[in-house]
């Protein structure tokens, strides 16, 4: 046989091998299930709950994970070489997660009765392919020891998008009851081209006690394997297998539950191992110049990860639209020659935001480099800043360059800029506040000089905004509806400043209104104003634009109704109108003002000739803490310091008086928070004022009782009613 013929035979064999990965899924899944259910692990045969955990909602009897990662070079179709075949490096990856949990009450049953999963996933690239095949297995173990395997074909598809594309599957676990043990696993296998496997995170904490949690990893010795221990996590024991690959094992038993479920920063609080398996020997996978070589690397110095982040950013490209932006800036400066550097920096940033939002082209590093190019041109001093998110890892605990976000710190460190995380966001992100940003002065607009890095480096703490800066103020008028005295007519105005403007309310803004507001601030005509210059000629475009806006605003009604439900925790009876008096998206008008009129049932009851009004509920639904959250051992990470203020006017119907209003007077004010309320009568109007304040974005666990005191006061107010008594 000639060499060429042998090559053809080899190609055919390779095609058969690769086809096996795409073989019959049903057979593949059954093989996986048989293998995992056959595990000979003592912890998965122990169905007994220790006496000290008998009263827990649920107990995790056993939790085990396995990770396998190997790199290989295969002959694959690449579009190059003989017959289009060539050598292609790929990463083979497998992850198994198995958990066995005893369900002791209805709440645990409800929380674990459904499982979502994805059977397969793939991404296609130019001459490359990444394929994941996923399998789940579910068994129910009855108190008498009977084991029933759940039929996975009972799962239903969850679709999304206009074409109802399947995103996941959802399995309702049949015949699952209180007292049962749920034993399930998730098996993921991937063949990956030109990328690394997902970062592996092992967290030794849960809202339920864990009797046994173990992890087993087998990682190619030719990979770059890096891991970091966080918050006192147990360390791996290291060994090698018969192929010389790295084997890591860790096991911890009797892990107490972590009842806290709110205001957490898990990477800063829970014992966790983060593991990155990097195919750094593959030249087609990006890695910074400072990347490590093959082998095992534990708890790398944070300075090394910071340099990785700097190299990952260094020399980033900028938007070609910079020429267009430059023309706008020059024109604006000509009209406003007295602008100071801070005002100019704000203008440039919002001009760039408008450009990338208009064309949906936001790319993080490109945004920063473009902003740097423009700042450099207009002689605005700036530095690159590298910062971690306060709801992610700390600076000193970073494991990879992607833990850092790049910002621009300008004008003697007085301004912090970053790409728009939210569509209508202005200002530094709340999750960076209080974080130390590592800064470096660039050599050019997007280049870091590493030869004398120490001389160019500095750091600062990003300022923390106050509760008064992040205000949500409600002005509300309320009256009993004329046609139904059990229905309330409500006019509500919400004024939002700072970080409070992001999220639910900013989502109500249409893109067209946002662009119009920004263009007006930029000193430019809006799209409609441009059309109206030649109205006769643009008649069709004007009609089309108006029709499009009307359709979009109609669609926003659903979101407006959702906002009302979120506020009152009640379905709106009738939405009459909603609009913005101010969008709050430009520096000259930073406050967002939202108006909504609607009718609502559920807050008024008849009592003979009188009415009972749940007046406390007019301030909106409140955070409640169950019994398990009355005590706390973990520090408190809140999104930001904030305040909520309510001024409510209730029209007292003719022939009635308002009684029991003294119950609306509350006052709690301590070092962490405050809830202060009052009520009085002015003629035929009941006036209610309430203010709730979270004074800081962070509190030590020792201060939890002070926050609970404030939260309890707000809930006490929320539960109060007044009587509208017939004279």
Question: pLDDT tens-digit profile of 317-353?
Answer: 777 678 888 888 998 899 899 999 999 999 999 888 8
| Domain boundary, last residue among 405, 428, 461 | 461
Q: What is the pLDDT of residue 667?
A: 97
How many structural domains comprise the chain? 3
Q: What is the pLDDT of residue 314?
A: 84
Q: Which of 24-28, 219-223, 302-306, 387-391 has the lowest mean pLDDT?
A: 24-28
Q: What is the pLDDT of residue 66?
A: 96
Q: 71 falls in which pLDDT band (50, 70, 90)?
A: low
Q: What is the pLDDT of residue 442?
A: 87
Do 430 and 478 sit in the same domain of this protein? no
Do 270 and 403 sit in the same domain of this protein? no
Q: 34 falls in which pLDDT band (50, 70, 90)?
A: very high
Cα gap 566→558, rounded to integer Å: 12
Do 397 and 286 sit in the same domain of this protein? no
**pLDDT value at 685 more than 90:** yes
Do 255 and 326 sit in the same domain of this protein? no
- Non-local CB neighbours of 712 within 8 Å, separated by 6+ positions: 625
Do 219 and 351 sit in the same domain of this protein? no
Strands of the sheet containing 574-582, edge to edge, are 574-582, 592-601, 487-496, 471-480, 642-651, 685-694, 673-682, 666-669
Chain mean pLDDT for the chain: 87
Q: Is 415 among the domain residues?
A: yes
Cα gap 195→517, rounded to integer Å: 41
Q: What is the pLDDT of residue 85?
A: 37
> Residue 619 in contact with residue 475, Cβ under 8 Å?
no
Q: What is the pLDDT of residue 321?
A: 73
Mean pLDDT of all residues in 85-99: 72
- Mind listing the pLDDT tens digit for each residue in 119-160? 765 554 444 456 778 999 999 999 999 999 999 988 887 665
Q: Which of 165-179, 257-271, 452-466 has the lowest mean pLDDT?
A: 165-179
Q: How much of the chain, in percent, has pLDDT values that exceed 90? A: 63
**pLDDT value at 74 more than 90:** no
Q: 90 falls in which pLDDT band (50, 70, 90)?
A: low
Mean pLDDT of all residues in 576-589: 90
Q: What are phi and psi of 194, to 5 degrees?
A: 60, 30
> Residue 560 in contact with residue 567, Cβ under 8 Å?
no
Q: Is 592 among the domain residues?
A: no
**pLDDT value at 490 more than 90:** yes
Parent domain of 238: 29-300
Q: Which of 475-479, 542-546, 654-658, 703-707 has the lowest mean pLDDT?
A: 542-546
Q: Is 558 among the domain residues?
A: no
**pLDDT value at 75 more than 80:** no
Do 60 and 201 sit in the same domain of this protein? yes
- Give the closest residue to 397 by CA, choosing from 270, 260, 286, 255: 270
Cα gap 322→342, rounded to integer Å: 20
**pLDDT value at 519 more than 90:** no
Q: 36 falls in which pLDDT band (50, 70, 90)?
A: very high
Do 256 and 362 sit in the same domain of this protein? no
Q: What angle do CA 263, 267, 268 make, to 5 degrees?
A: 70
What's 101's domain CATH number? 2.60.40.3140
Q: Is 366 among the domain residues?
A: yes
Tokens 């070092």, located at residue: 671
- Give the closest residue to 549 by CA, choosing from 581, 574, 589, 514: 514
| Domain boundary, last residue among 230, 265, 300 | 300
Do 457 and 322 sit in the same domain of this protein? yes
**pLDDT value at 429 more than 90:** no
Q: Is 116 among the domain residues?
A: yes
Do 437 and 478 sit in the same domain of this protein? no
Q: What is the pLDDT of residue 6?
A: 38
Cα gap 99→101, rounded to integer Å: 6
Q: Is 595 among the domain residues?
A: no
Give the 3-state DSSP-derived string for 372-398, with helices as H, strands as E and coil as C. HHHHHHCCCCEEEEEECCCCCCCHHHC
**pLDDT value at 458 more than 60:** yes
| Domain boundary, last residue among 247, 274, 300 | 300
Mean pLDDT of all residues in 163-169: 65
Mean pLDDT of all residues in 50-67: 96
Q: Is 499 among the domain residues?
A: no
Q: What is the pLDDT of residue 416?
A: 93
Going by the DSSP 8-state scheme, the letter that residue 705 receives in this structure is: H
SS3 at position 114: strand
Do 272 and 157 sit in the same domain of this protein? yes
For 554-570, give the DSSP string: HHHHHHHHHHHHHHHSS
- Mind listing the pLDDT tens digit for each residue in 194-245? 678 889 999 999 999 999 999 999 999 999 999 999 999 999 999 999 989 9
Do 380 and 456 sit in the same domain of this protein? yes
For 441-496, give the DSSP string: --SBTTB---TTHHHHEEEEEPPPPPTTTSEEEEEEEEEE-SS-TTEEEEEEEEEE
Burial 86-108 (b: 16+ CB within 10 A, else e): eebbbbbbbbbebbbbbbbeeeb
Do 209 and 335 sit in the same domain of this protein? no
Q: Is 656 among the domain residues?
A: yes
Structure tokens at 474: 């409600």
Q: Is the pTM of this model over 0.85?
A: yes
What's 679's domain CATH number? 2.60.120.1130
**pLDDT value at 96 more than 90:** yes
């Amino acid at each position: 046989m000639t060499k060429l013929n042998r090559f053809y035979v080899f190609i055919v064999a390779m095609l058969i091998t690769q086809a096996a990965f795409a073989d019959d899924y049903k057979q593949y899944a059954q093989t996986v299930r048989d293998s995992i259910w056959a595990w000979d692990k003592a912890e998965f045969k122990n169905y007994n709950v220790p006496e000290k955990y008998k009263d827990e909602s649920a107990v995790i009897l056993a939790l085990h994970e396995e990770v396998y990662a190997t790199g290989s070079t295969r002959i694959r179709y690449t579009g190059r070489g003989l017959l289009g075949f060539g050598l292609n490096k790929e990463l083979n990856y497998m992850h198994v997660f198995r958990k066995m949990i005893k369900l002791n009450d209805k709440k645990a049953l409800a929380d674990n009765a459904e499982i979502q999963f994805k059977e397969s996933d793939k991404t296609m690239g130019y001459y490359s392919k990444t394929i994941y095949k996923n399998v789940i297995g579910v068994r129910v173990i009855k108190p008498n020891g009977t084991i029933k395997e759940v039929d996975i074909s009972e799962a239903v598809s969850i679709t999304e998008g206009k074409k109802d594309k399947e995103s996941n599957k959802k399995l309702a676990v049949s015949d699952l009851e209180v007292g049962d043990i749920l034993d399930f696993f998730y098996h993921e296998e991937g063949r990956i081209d030109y990328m690394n496997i997902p970062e592996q995170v092992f967290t030794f904490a849960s809202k339920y006690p864990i009797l046994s949690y173990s992890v087993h990893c087998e990682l190619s010795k030719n990979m770059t394997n890096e891991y970091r221990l966080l918050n006192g996590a147990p360390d791996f024991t290291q060994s090698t297998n018969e192929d010389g690959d790295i084997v890591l094992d860790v096991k911890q038993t009797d892990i107490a539950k972590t009842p806290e479920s709110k205001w957490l920063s898990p990477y800063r609080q829970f014992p966790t191992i983060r593991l990155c398996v990097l195919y750094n020997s593959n030249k087609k996978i990006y890695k910074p110049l400072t990347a490590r070589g093959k082998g095992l690397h534990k708890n790398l110095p944070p300075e090394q990860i910071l340099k990785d982040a700097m190299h990952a950013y260094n020399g980033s490209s900028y938007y070609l639209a910079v020429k267009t932006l430059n023309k706008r800036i020059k024109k604006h400066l000509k009209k406003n020659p007295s602008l100071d550097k801070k005002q100019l920096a704000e203008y440039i940033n919002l001009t760039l935001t408008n450009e990338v939002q208009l064309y949906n082209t936001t790319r993080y590093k490109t945004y920063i480099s473009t902003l740097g190019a423009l700042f450099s041109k207009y002689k605005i001093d700036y530095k690159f800043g590298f910062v971690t998110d306060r709801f992610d890892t700390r600076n000193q605990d970073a494991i990879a360059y992607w833990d850092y976000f790049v910002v621009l710190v300008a004008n003697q460190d007085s301004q912090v800029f970053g790409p728009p995380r939210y569509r209508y966001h202005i200002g530094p992100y709340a999750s960076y506040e209080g974080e130390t940003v590592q800064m470096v002065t660039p050599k050019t607009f997007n280049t870091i000089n590493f030869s004398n890095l120490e001389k160019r480096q500095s750091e600062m703490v990003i300022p923390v905004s106050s509760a008064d800066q992040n205000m949500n103020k409600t002005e509300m008028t309320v009256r009993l509806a004329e046609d139904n005295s059990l229905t309330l007519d409500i006019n509500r105005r919400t004024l939002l400043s700072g970080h409070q403007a992001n999220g639910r309310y900013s989502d109500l803004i249409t893109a067209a209104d946002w662009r119009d507001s920004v263009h007006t601030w930029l000193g430019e005509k809006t799209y409609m104003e441009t059309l109206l210059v030649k109205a006769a000629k643009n008649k069709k475009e004007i009609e089309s634009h108006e029709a499009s806006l009307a359709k979009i605003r109609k669609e926003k009604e659903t979101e407006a109704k959702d906002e009302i439900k979120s506020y009152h925790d009640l379905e709106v009876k009738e939405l009459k109108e909603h609009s913005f008096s101010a969008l709050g998206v430009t520096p000259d008008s930073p406050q967002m003002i939202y108006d909504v009129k609607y009718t609502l049932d559920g807050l008024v009851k008849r009592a003979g000739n009188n009415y009972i009004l749940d007046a406390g509920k007019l301030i909106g639904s409140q955070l409640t803490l169950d019994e398990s959250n009355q005590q706390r051992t973990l520090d408190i990470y809140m999104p930001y310091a904030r305040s909520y203020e309510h001024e409510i006017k209730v029209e007292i119907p003719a022939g009635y008086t308002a009684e029991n209003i003294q119950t609306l007077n509350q006052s709690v004010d301590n070092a962490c928070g405050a809830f202060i309320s009052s009520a009085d009568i002015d003629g035929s109007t009941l006036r209610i004022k309430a203010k709730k304040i979270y004074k800081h974005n962070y509190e030590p666990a020792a201060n939890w009782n002070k926050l609970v005191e404030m939260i309890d006061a707000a809930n006490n107010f929320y539960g109060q009613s007044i009587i509208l008594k017939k004279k």
